[in-house]
Amino acid sequence: MSPTDSRSVGRCRGRFAPSPTGPLHAGSLVAALASWLDVRAQSGDWLVRIEDVDTPRCVPGAAEHILQQLASCGLLPDEAPMWQSQRGDAYAKSLQKLLVSGHAFPCACTRKDIDDALLARGLPHQRFGERVYPGTCRQGLQGKPARAVRLRAEGVVHWTDRRLGPQQQDVGVQVGDFVLKRADGLWAYQLAVVVDDAAQGITHVVRGEDLADNTARQVLLQRALGVCTPAYLHTPLVLAADGHKLSKQNGAQALDLSSPLQTLKQAAQVLGLPACEAPTVAEALAVWVAAWRFALRLAVGPP
Ligand code: GLU
């Protein structure tokens, strides 16, 4: 049965989509565990997708290490992992569709061009370190060579997070036309994640709260491509001792898997799951699946 077939019969499909920039850390395990529990509680399929599209940031061997770490925590995917580095043709096809429909446009701007245009218009320069694109190439390239491809971002997107509640973002104003294909020729995360979630028939996205801000962009892209929008749940972040988000970038320690059960118990605690005295990983996971299922039954609105 193909992923699309399973979705058409209403089966829940979730995924964990790590970027292989290093081994799993405590924060990424929380997202992986939550995604696995959510799918198991709904008797669905759990997939792993290796997001190795940003090749300069990928660390050789990290993907295999992550898969081993997941396996030692009892988190085994139901299908062979998908690797984004092998998905170029699918991304090219979707990009072409967006260009033909007028949702995407080629962009010739360098960073300096964008800064100058923002300055000239007195517009705010950056948001989370990213430039809000001022729309320069929307009307054409003015004879300059194309560097990147962007999505024409228009409209306020409303979406509901299963934990954080109703959200909204005016993507055109707050983010601007965002990149789908980068000037260095690499596929952008936003395009790859939307194309792959649709191709894999993902119905339930569960990931860390640091990614919540991307959701409105992804919803715009889903609408432009005419694909379904999954349900979204963003999990609490694990903070480092200094109060900052724990991430591979700030040197988070790889998980201590000398006792996977203890490590899983810490992740479960972040998710507000009951403390359990189960003696094995399999038994602890079963307790938490039951607790997750119970919480879904109590939930008002989408689980
Ligand atoms: N690859 C992303 C990360 O490791 C996660 C993407 C997603 O779950 O949508 O942060």
The best mutation among 16, 19, 33, 215 to test binding of ligand 1, ranked by most ligand atoms within 8 Å of the C-beta, falls on: 19
Taking 50 as the pLDDT cut, the residues of the chain under it are: 1-8, 301-303
Model pLDDT, residue 302:
44
Check pocket membership of 63 for ligand 1, CB cut-off 6 A: no
What was the pLDDT predicted at 4? 43
Q: How far apart are CA 198 and CA 229, in angstroms?
A: 8
**Helices 215-225 and 189-199, axial angle in degrees (round to 10):** 60
Instruction: Tell which one of 21, 82, 189, 245 to mutate to probe ligand 1, the residue whose CB is within 8 A of the most ligand atoms.
Output: 189
pLDDT digits (tens, 9 = 90+) for 57-115: 999 999 999 999 999 999 999 999 999 999 999 999 999 999 999 999 999 999 889 88
Query: Using an 8 Å Cβ cutoff, are 247 and 211 in contact?
Result: no
d(CA 179, CA 197): 18
51 lines ligand 1 (CB under 6 A): yes
What whole-number distance in Å separates Cα of residue 76 and Cα of residue 36? 9
Q: Percentages helix, strand, coil for the chain, rounded to the nearest 5?
A: 40, 15, 40
Determine the distance separating the centroid of ligand 1 and the alpha carbon of 17, expressed in angstroms: 5
- The long-range contacts involving 134-139, CB below 8 angstroms and separated by at least 24 positions, are 134/176, 135/176, 135/177, 136/107, 136/109, 137/105, 137/106, 137/107, 137/108, 137/109, 138/105, 138/177
Task: Report CA(204)–ligand 1 centroid distance (Å).
Answer: 14
Please tell me the residue having the least CA distance from ligand 1 atom 7: 17
> Which secondary structure element, helix H or strand E, spans residue 223, and what is its range?
helix 215-225
Atom of ligand 1 nearest to the CA of 207: 8
| Token digits of residue 6 | 């399973």
> How many angstroms does the Cα of residue 18 sit away from the middle of ligand 1?
5
State in Å: Cα 176 to ligand 1 middle. Answer: 21
The architecture that CATH gives domain 89-181 is Alpha-Beta Complex (3.90)
pTM of the model: 0.92
Q: How far is the CA of 9 from the centre of ligand 1 (A)?
A: 27
Domain definitions of the chain by residue range: 11-86+238-298, 89-181
Ligand 1 closest atom vs CA 51? 1
Dist. CA 230 → ligand 1 center (Å): 15
Distance CA 209, CA 147 (A): 31
Ligand 1 atom closest to 28 (CA): 4
Token pair for 286: 């079963």
Residue of minimum CA distance from atom 6 in ligand 1: 17
CB of 193 closer than 6 angstroms to any ligand 1 atom: yes
Cβ of 19 closer than 6 Å to ligand 1, yes or no, is yes
Is the C-beta atom of 49 inside 6 A of ligand 1? no
CA distance 193 to 8: 20
Strand partners, 82: 49
CATH topology of domain 11-86+238-298: Rossmann fold (3.40.50)
For ligand 1, the distance from its centroid to the CA atom of residue 245, given in whole angstroms, is 15
